[in-house]
Amino acid sequence: MVEIELREFKKMNLNGATIIDGFPSVGMVNTIAANYLLATLNLDQIAALDSDRFPAVSMIYANKPKFPARIYASEKLKTVVFLSEFRILPYLYRPLAKTLLNWAKEQKCSLIISPVGYPVQLLSIEKELDVMGVGSTDRARQRLVSSDIKQLNIGIIPGISGLLLNEGRWANFDVISLIIPIQPDIPEVKAAVRAVEMIDKLIPEIKVDVAPLHQEAERIAERLKVLRKQAKPMESQPPWGIYE
């Protein structure tokens, strides 16, 4: 059984807060979006996630070591970001999704937003990406309606985002999965920009300036590629006990 340890650095009153899932389960769309929100909203790190199944690495930012999976938040903005740069293997999806949801309930947060990229053929690069959403509860679905976001009628939501929807429905907790179309030959940056625009619509407490987002998203994507390349040797090594 995979165990995820949550190490709290700082306490905040997050009653009613919204969580943005930045765990990269399918592509990098949500991770790029989460990195931009983290910097733009000036969120503070309040906790870290650790497991013997995570890569044995330390992420260095501003000369400081950081765990590969972290939680950032703002008490004033009632906004939380879960973030990780390393490639998360599928066997970690379920324990991470449950850890995220359990923590959200403990903190009395009100909503989890989980963007997920999915490939679409014949999508023009000039065409505005048609983002859709899925809500775990009637409340979440009404929020999509109020934000003028189309709802997916039929389909499959993969990875952590799909698990959060299932667990949210079971626990009667509001989860919104934002389905962001991507195309293999089009950078995920454009999709990440759309994800941030939709998150901005869903969270009235924040106002995100999307004007500089295109260039910043490019820099974030390049940084993530470098970090992933550096961490790849450690990611490829199965942790002890994985086959027990």
Break the chain into its structural domains and give their ranges: 13-210+219-228
Q: What is the pTM of this model?
A: 0.84
pLDDT-derived band at 34, boundaries 50, 70, 90: confident
pLDDT of residue 124: 45
What DSSP character marks residue 218?
A: H
Mean pLDDT score of the chain: 82
Query: What tens digit of pLDDT does each residue of 115-150 get?
Result: 988 776 544 444 555 789 999 999 999 999 999 999
The two most distant CA atoms of the chain are separated, in Å, by 50
pLDDT-derived band at 64, boundaries 50, 70, 90: confident
Query: What tens digit of pLDDT does each residue of 158-187 get?
Result: 889 999 999 999 999 999 999 988 766 555
Distance, in Å, from the CA atom of 182 to the CA atom of 117, rounded to the nearest integer, reads 6
pLDDT-derived band at 59, boundaries 50, 70, 90: confident
- What tokens appear for 10 in the block? 């700082």
- What tokens appear for 146 in the block? 């109020």
Report whether CATH 3.40.50.10900 matches the domain 13-210+219-228. yes
